[in-house]
Amino acid sequence: IDYCIAPNENIEVWTELLQSMKSRGLEQVELFLSDGVVGMKTALAKTYPQAHFQRCLVHVMRNICAKVRVDDCETIMNEFKQIHQQPNEEAAIKVLHAFYDKWNRAYNHVIRNLKEIEP
């Protein structure tokens, strides 16, 4: 819908970008997918407060793999994918918490980061 070239990523840059889209007629955003860019979630909440923000699943999985031992990566990814294959939210939350419990001891920093991006 839009793009900008900016020297850095921050709330001000993203707010300006979103305000530009709003001024050109984008009245409402239902769902906004993004990687973990700094300030985007806050800028979105200011500009489109009804919008739901979701981290890109591919970026989340890449971040997890970058922070765990190579030997654990495949196992962790297979278990993480199970969360998103559940038939409903209740089942997904149950699998998510089991994932947290299992891996928290070995990868506390990874689990902490995942908890920070939970809706």
Name, in order, each residue with C-beta under 8 angstroms of 105's C-beta and a sequence gap of 6 or more. none
Residue pLDDT, tens place only, 65-115: 999 999 999 999 999 999 999 999 999 999 999 999 999 999 999 999 999
Band of residue 48 on the pLDDT scale cut at 50, 70, 90:
very high
Query: Residue range 19-45: average pLDDT?
Result: 92
Average pLDDT, the chain: 93
| Cα 105 to Cα 63, 100, 101, 108, distances in angstroms | 18, 9, 8, 6
